[in-house]
A = this chain, B = another copy of it.
Amino acid sequence: MTPHAHQTVDISLAERSYPILIGDGLLHSAGTFAALPRGNTALVVSNTTVAPLYSARLKSALAGRYERVIELALPDGESFKHWETLNLIFDTLLAHTCDRKTVLFALGGGVVGDMTGFAAASYMRGVPFVQVPTTLLAQVDSSVGGKTGINHPLGKNMIGAFYQPQMVVCDIGLLSSLPKREVSAGLAEIIKYGPIADMDFLAWIEANMPPLVALQPDAVTHAVRRSCELKAWVVGQDERESGLRAILNFGHTFGHAIEAGLGYGEWLHGEAVGCGMVMAATLSQRLGLVDAGFVERLTRIIEAAGLPTRGPLLATADNAGRYLALMRNDKKAEAGEIRFVLIDGPGRAVMRPAPDALVREVIDACCV
């Protein structure tokens, strides 16, 4: 594709609607940001890894539009996704007497996006912000849909807001600097959309895994666009996750247990979700919802993406019990009952509880 050409996916949420722009080289062009609300000041929030690579490029694209373009690089990593780091954003905004028309730009992965979004939701009770995701995972999942937040010592993403950006800018050219492991982690969230909503897309992913892993631009653009379309369709029906939206958490209940059990950061989120999808598909099979062929096929695709498909041991004595205990702490649990996202036939997801004994069997069968 030619540089600066782009595709658009619209998120339809009445007065909170916004476009996702997808293309190669979007950050080079001031025109990318032409539709944004006017203001005197832009604050680019990034992290110490991404800032040296891309912040100059974004700042120069914004320079003609805002009188002041301020920059803040947060420490990099999930372990910094807490109040003290969030407060660095408020300190910067107030030290520069930024008013209600200040526009925040989240330039980075999911951690930067979640924190910048929550800062935008909360500063003066809400200022506009733009997501500029620099990881594949953030482009296809975390930057879209308005979930923002920080962690608490007792739980991940426990404090936050549903707050929609003005625009999401997915410049797939930025992905070339990603470590291979993070590309695979992003592919997990792309694969996810297949079993829950679109088996044709799953077949396309299956047939195009080598170009996807190699970040071939046309393949990546299509995968990002279709993922965003499917997410837009779900979020458009259930912005605040009172029902349908929870299907986007396919693989996440087991995945969160893996992340929490190993200590956050040991496995990447996408790696835990990849393995978690195998476990959730296996549970679906044991409940008679899908056949063994479906589980095998999904497992092969996840493996081809470079992701783990066997769960780690979280305890030597009662591994399944440890998984269960961690899953009962999930945000989606209600009064201690775990609500699994299961595949109710290929391309269709359902939320339901499952008997502990069966879940234990699945964990025993799926772990190393």
Contact = CB atoms under 8 A, between A and B. Distances in A.
13 contacts: A83-B83, A90-B158, A91-B152, A91-B154, A94-B158, A99-B335, A122-B149, A124-B331, A125-B147, A125-B160, A125-B240, A126-B161, A126-B162
User: 8 nearest interchain CB pairs?
Assistant: A94-B154, A125-B160, A122-B159, A125-B162, A124-B331, A40-B335, A99-B334, A90-B152
Given A159-B90, A161-B161, A100 B152 contact: no
Nearest to A122: B159
Given A122-B161, A160-B122, A334 B149 contact: no
A83 B94 contact: no
Given A97-B336, A99-B334, 17 more contacts: A83-B87, A90-B152, A90-B159, A94-B152, A94-B158, A99-B333, A100-B331, A121-B161, A122-B160, A122-B161, A123-B158, A123-B159, A124-B160, A125-B148, A125-B149, A126-B162, A126-B240
A334 B124 CA distance: 13
Interface string A73-87: 000000000010001
Give the size range of A's interface with the partner.
35 or more
A294 B125 CA distance: 35
A113 to B, nearest CB: 15
Nearest to A160: B125
- Which one of A90, A122, A335 has the greatest number of beta carbons of chain B within 10 Å? A122
Interface in A226-247: 240-241
B335 A125 contact: no
A260 to B, nearest CB: 13
A125 B148 CA distance: 8
Interface string A116-160: 000001111110000000000000000000011100101100111
A8 interface: no
Nearest to A147: B125
Contacts of A94: 152, 154-155, 158
Q: How many copies does the complex hold?
A: 2
A334 B240 CA distance: 32
- Which one of A97, A125, A240, A333 has the greatest number of beta carbons of chain B within 10 Å? A125
A152 B122 CA distance: 12
Contacts of A87: 83
Nearest to A242: B100
A368 interface: no
A87 B158 CA distance: 12
A145 to B, nearest CB: 11
A180 interface: no
A329 B160 contact: no
A34 interface: no
B154 A95 contact: yes
A101 interface: yes
A87 B159 CA distance: 10
Nearest to A333: B99
Contacts of A161: 121-122, 125-126, 161
